[in-house]
Structure 1
Amino acid sequence: MYAVIFKAEINELDESYSEMASLMRELAINKYGCTEFTSVTEEKQEIAISYWESQEQIKKWKQDAEHLVAQEFGASKWYKSYQVQVVKIVREYSKNT
């Protein structure tokens, strides 16, 4: 299992951002096999974590034509800066109710 951690400093988010974020979440899950996608924004910071079974899924997702458009908007309009980390999950703990 892998996680992609996206951290960004927000420049300006508009209506097109919300629409694109929703579309990208659905595309990742429905087309590329993302198992979970969570995003949180607080003041000028955003963090999104998505979970994947393989690195191949992540690579295909990164190269998707619609995702490339979203990446361009992010770099040129929505974010001042961002960082992406792809990590392998080696252990997981949880408390189930």
Structure 2
Amino acid sequence: MTPKLVAGIEPPYYTAVFTSVRPDAPEGYAETSVRMQEIVREVPGFLGYESARTPGGIGITVAYFRDLEALDKWRLDTEHQAAKRYGREHWYDSYSVHIGKVERSYGFERE
């Protein structure tokens, strides 16, 4: 199965790029990740996400939002804030977040 990428979003839109280092499969992480995916999908203006992790523990998730209001709604969600606190205390060795405005976007897909 070929993974599907988020494509066809008309700019401008915003990205939240979350890069992290954590051990493989820490306790409770998978369940929390599923719950965060459920919550973010309910945010008006959420457009999708892509995520990848290396066997060595480096992960990158890029989430796409129509506008800064949608991104702020996600950032300020109380369950999301609690998960971030827990992650800092228990899961992550380090992480960084980068917010960007996309002004041009294009892609390719083999048929």
TM-score, with length taken from structure 2: 0.79
Structure 1 moving runs of 4+ over 3 Å = none
* Greater Rg over alpha carbons, structure: 2
Give yes or no for the alignment of 1:85 onto 2:98.
Answer: yes
How many residue pairs get aligned? The number is: 97
Structure ranking higher in helix proportion = 1
Structure 2 unpaired stretches of 5+: 1-12
Q: Percent identity?
A: 28
Structure 1 unpaired stretches of 5+: none
TM-score, with length taken from structure 1: 0.90
Alignment partners' CA distance in 2, 1:93 and 1:64: 31
Alignment partners' CA distance in 1, 2:23 and 2:68: 30
Give yes or no for the alignment of 1:52 onto 2:65.
Answer: yes
Cα distance change, pair 81–75 in 1 and its aligned pair in 2 (3 A):
same
1:35-83 Cα deviation digits (max 9, x unpaired): 1122211121011010000111111111111001110111111101100
RMSD: 1.5
